[in-house]
Amino acid sequence: MNGRIIGISGPTVSVELAGLRLYERVNVGRAGLMGEVVRLEKERAIVQVYESTRGLCVGEPVAGTGAQLTVRLGPGLLNQMFDGLQRPLAALREAQGPFILPGSGAGQALPSSVLHFEPNRRPGDTVADGDVVGYAQEGPFRHAVRAAGAAGRLLSIASGECASDVPVATLEDGRSITAWHEWPVRVPRPYRRKLSRFEPLVTGQRCIDFLFPLARGGSAIFPGGFGTGKTLLEQSIAKFADVDVVIYVGCGERGNEMAEMLDEFSVLSDPWSKRPLMSRTVVVVNTSNMPVAAREASIYTAVTLAEYYRDQGYHVLLLADSLSRWAEALREISSALEEMPGEEGYPTYLASRMAEFFARAGVVETLDGKTGSLTVLLSISPPGGDFTEPVTQACMRNTGAFFMLDTALAHRRHFPAIHWFQSFSLYEADVAAHLDRQVAPDWSALRLETRAVLQREESLREVAEIVGTEGLQDADRLLMRTAERIRREFLAQNAYTEDAFSTPEQTHARIRSILEAYREAAGRH
């Protein structure tokens, strides 16, 4: 099927081409830019182009592919870095040098690697569509390899070492089974059922683990103005979180920060498994100057990768920095499509798209009966630090935990700048019950005590603003000093020292010693 371009506007082109389907992937122009059909009309189709449309000419050819935009799933994704369309960036750099050229990267395959395959079927066996034919090993991770869309009698099947880009089995009718399969990015992967159980997800950040705990399968957002340490917090959590696999999406953010992160991740190791950090991490990156439509897709690419590991029965953490850039990309495309705008120019379907996205988090029983979880952690960059804007508001309705990053705390260099009164976690009760059992029976009690001290300090501070600290009673001054210790020695954590990571046991010991000292001193008065 071939057609031609009849109009170009920002990241969208209109094309004359019959027979296209909605969300079909198309190749645009002589350079073969990747695009996706987003609207069909009687005489034309509108295509969202994932690369820069600069230099594109009216009349250039457009070809449909008959397929949707997909992600390749299989062993070998870890330790890789992809752009928003899952093109491997290291291979791209080798092929084209330090700058990304439009068009030429389409269909760039992952470099071939060797994987270990362990069959559980033999030649001559009959397999049905979706049956597991064996297992491929990727480090400590075990991938079930399924006959996807192919059924029949096995002619041959590999065993032991084999190359990642050749089929692991062939059927008698000539079709083959590969360790890899394609999955449409916009379609959530299936599971047997969702479970509602909330076990703690330890992040290594005292403020989160102790005051606003996160649960596996949960979701959390942290909005904050610029300079409040969103990226730093997100990267710290990516380093230390107690999960099997981390998917990190740099969505519309800084290139230098990605370079910094890659640099650090390649030398650090996971504190839980002691293995190199990158060997549990997949990075999807679309920096702020990369094409805006691919930024919109990058979130979906990442969540599909995350679901794939969840489906193998692992605990997966998806971190996105930042969701606001995704929403802005949505707005930019919507405006190029001349859709009726909603609040602040965002399309009216912003909230429902976000709700759909948040719904992909959860603890599930997978199709083969294992338990896997997908936790979603998103940073948000509200314009002007104003939390009443549509993106923050839409997220707050859907999220399970909310860590508000405060500009005033950041200015005093208190990091992580999580505001202890404005933040919340809906997992608090569930998670605390676990930690009372696992760490120390007084975990919850200490938490209440800490809250009470901070709360009391807040009201004393108002008094002190009028009468001065000298005018306070001794007991109150002691409480204010304790609150200050809690803030400086417990809630604040320096991401550049060994203090960057704190186990639940260390967290507990530290807060207990502060509060014990307080009780003792208070007893003397």
Partner 1 sequence: MRLSRHSYSTLRSIQGPLVFVEQVLEARMGEVVTIVFPDGRETEGEVLRIERDTVLIQVVGESRGLDMDRTRIVFTDAVKRAPLSLAALNRVFSGSFRPLDGLPMFVPDRWVPVAGLPMNPVARARPQEMIETGFSTVDGLNTLVKGQKLPIFSCAGLPSREVAAGILEHARSTAATSGAMAASVVVFVALGLAHHEYAFYRQTLERMQGEFVAFINLAQDPVVERLLAPRFGLTVAEYLAFEHGRDVLVVITDMTNYCDALREVSTAREELPGRRGYPGYLYSDLASLYERAGRIKERHGSVTLLPVVTMPEDDITHPIPDLTGYITEGQIVLSREMHQRGIFPPVDVLPSLSRLMQQGIGKGRTREDHRALANALYMHYASGRDLRRLEAIVGREGMGEGDRHMLDFADAFEREIVHQGTERRSIDRTLDLSRALLVRFGLLAP
446-505 residues near partner 1, rule: CB under 8 A = 464-471, 496
Judged by beta carbon, residue 97 or residue 160, the one nearer partner 1 is 97
> Could you check whether the bond before residue 188 is cis, i.e. omega within 30 degrees of 0?
no
CB 252 within 8 A of CB 295: yes
CB 201 within 8 A of CB 218: yes
Q: Is 68 near partner 1 (CB under 8 A)?
A: no
The SS3 of residue 25 is: strand
Element (H, E) at 436: helix 428-438
Rounded least distance, CB 322 to partner 1, Å: 8
DSSP label at 418? B
Among 150, 169, 292, 483, binds partner 1 (CB under 8 A): 292
3-state secondary structure 239-283: HHCCCCEEEEEEECCCHHHHHHHHHHHCCCECCCCCCEHHHHEEE
Q: Which stretch binds partner 1 (CB under 8 A): 253-261, 308-316, 363-371, 417-425?
A: 253-261
Q: Is 341 near partner 1 (CB under 8 A)?
A: yes
191-250 residues near partner 1, rule: CB under 8 A = 225-227, 250
| Separation of alpha carbons 158 and 402, rounded Å | 48
Rounded least distance, CB 409 to partner 1, Å: 10
146-175 residues near partner 1, rule: CB under 8 A = none
Rounded least distance, CB 509 to partner 1, Å: 24
Among 1, 22, 67, 90, binds partner 1 (CB under 8 A): 90
What CA–CA distances, in Å, run from 134 to 123, 142, 143, 177, 183?
12, 10, 9, 11, 20
By CB under 8 A, the count of residues binding partner 1 is 72
Among 192, 412, 451, 519, binds partner 1 (CB under 8 A): 412
Q: Is 124 near partner 1 (CB under 8 A)?
A: no
Q: Which stretch binds partner 1 (CB under 8 A): 180-188, 300-308, 340-348, 499-507?
A: 340-348
296-325 residues near partner 1, rule: CB under 8 A = 325
Q: Is 353 near partner 1 (CB under 8 A)?
A: no
Q: Is 143 near partner 1 (CB under 8 A)?
A: no
Neighbours of 516 (CB within 10 A): 11
| Separation of alpha carbons 125 and 104, rounded Å | 42
What CA–CA distances, in Å, run from 174 to 189, 296, 405, 460?
28, 38, 57, 78
| Separation of alpha carbons 480 and 81, rounded Å | 47
Q: Is 58 near partner 1 (CB under 8 A)?
A: yes
Rounded least distance, CB 414 to partner 1, Å: 9
Judged by beta carbon, residue 174 or residue 384, the one nearer partner 1 is 384
Q: Is 38 near partner 1 (CB under 8 A)?
A: no
261-280 residues near partner 1, rule: CB under 8 A = 262-263
